[in-house]
Amino acid sequence: MSDPHSSSSAIAAAFEGQKSGVADRRQRFGLTERRHALSKLADAVRQNEAAIVAALAEDFGKPETEVILTEILPLLQEIKHTSRNLGRWMRAKHVTPTLATFGTSARIRSEARGVCLIIAPWNYPFILALGPLVSCLAAGNSAIVKPSEMTPATSSLIARILEETFSPDLVTVIEGGVDASEALLELPFDHIFFTGSPAVGKIVMRAAAKVLASVTLELGGKSPTIIGPQADLERAADWVMFGKFSNAGQTCIAPDHLFVHDTVKERFLGKLRDRIAKAYGDGSGSGDLARIVNARHASRLSGLIDDALAKGAHLIRDGGRDGTRMGPTLIESITPEMAIDGEEIFGPVLPIIPYDDLDDVIARINSRPKPLALYVFDGDRGRVDRVISSTSSGSVGVNLTLIQFSHSKLPFGGVNTSGIGAAHGHHGFRAFSHERAILTNRFSPLPMIFPPYSKRVRQLIGAIKRIVG
């Protein structure tokens, strides 16, 4: 189903087509079939690499190398890791009995939830649509995938690839805008995987609550970055440049603002300016820098800059603005009344905030919603551990940025306003699975204490109470 004007009735029909096959999939969609589905997906991605690069270039000028590094390779790695470990993940896990369940055998069986909805965002429109699909299929589910309408070329390509690769009773694509999303959220899915803003995440959660569907919400937030007094400034400049300005800063785990210790501020900023110039040149026209996704978001970013400047901030580096082209921009003297201080930036604008007391930084981080990521650059392990133990975030990067996302053995997810649940690898498999408890009686002695509660039964219960309690 790839018609961008899909009607509510067509969407409902697509859902019913998958729902009617749930029982059959539980019987026939085993390890071999799941691995085969993952292999087909990997083959489709490889065969369409040029088309993926072209679609992302059309949607927001993403450089080919960046597409390969951030959209294609991590997805292929996720498929490979999942397929290799899937047999072990699917295997029932036997657990030892407790005193109360002596004489029984217990196991936990991972089972498919059923029909799942994957709502993907626009910023990494390919991997954030198909990455969750890997976990969904690995867990034995069917999926309806809703790509973002804000990246139409990629959305259309995803629809074509998945329609050519899978039957609609296993994977269906619904294109369209808000109306399509609203129609989908009216349906009783067994699990919803949403990636996007906290505001829309609340809408998704309210919809899921109507049918008590489980959810995975990958949201965002203002991810802070701390440059400590003993940081390797060359390395920090490299990683901040990469983490903040890849995808033109349109990354949910990009550094949102930078706390720099007073003693290293000027030296670090010099290195960061040099590293930005080396990577992207002087202005906004670099072929290695993606565009802002559309004019509305470019206007929003310009508004954040203009509002800050009007209220006393000043530019350390002016990246320039030309339509949806915006170069790496550094800004300082940020104050709480500026919109840029409270709103997730999601673009190539980086506020620089000097500090001399780490406790003040930690207090500021803890006074705000919990971020999806937090980054610390420092050679002092004690200070790094202090930041980690004193704050909360979805993930932490120490002396690096972004690449925790691509570690298949780590959970990727937020906490509270930055997300619910986790994705990737075994964690993604578990998100799309129901862990079913199965307890089998072998020679349980519990009938000895069933009613009637005679004197002997009460004595036995008393003895058990003394042992257990």
Nearest residue to 22 via CA among 364, 434, 306, 414 = 434
The residue annotated as part of the active site, out of 71, 175, 252, 332, is 252
Instruction: Judge contact between 444 and 104, C-beta under 8 A.
Output: yes
Q: Reply yes or no on whether 218 is catalytic.
A: yes
Instruction: Judge contact between 143 and 466, C-beta under 8 A.
Output: no
> What distances in angstroms separate CA 53 from CA 2, 58, 397, one per listed residue?
20, 9, 28
- CA–CA distance, 183 with 186 (Å, rounded to integer): 5
The dihedral through the CA atoms of 417, 423, 429, 432 has a sign that is positive
| Rounded (10°) CA dihedral 320, 322, 325, 327 | 0
The residue annotated as part of the active site, out of 175, 218, 332, 344, is 218
Which token pair is 80?
């490979």
Task: Classify 168 as helix, strand or coil.
Answer: coil
φ, ψ for residue 194, nearest 5 deg: -120, 135
Q: Map tokens 């295997």 to a residue.
A: 91
Q: Map tokens 């620089």 to a residue.
A: 352
- CA–CA distance, 69 with 131 (Å, rounded to integer): 14
Which token pair is 383?
């200070």
- CA–CA distance, 320 with 62 (Å, rounded to integer): 18
Catalytic machinery residues: 218, 252
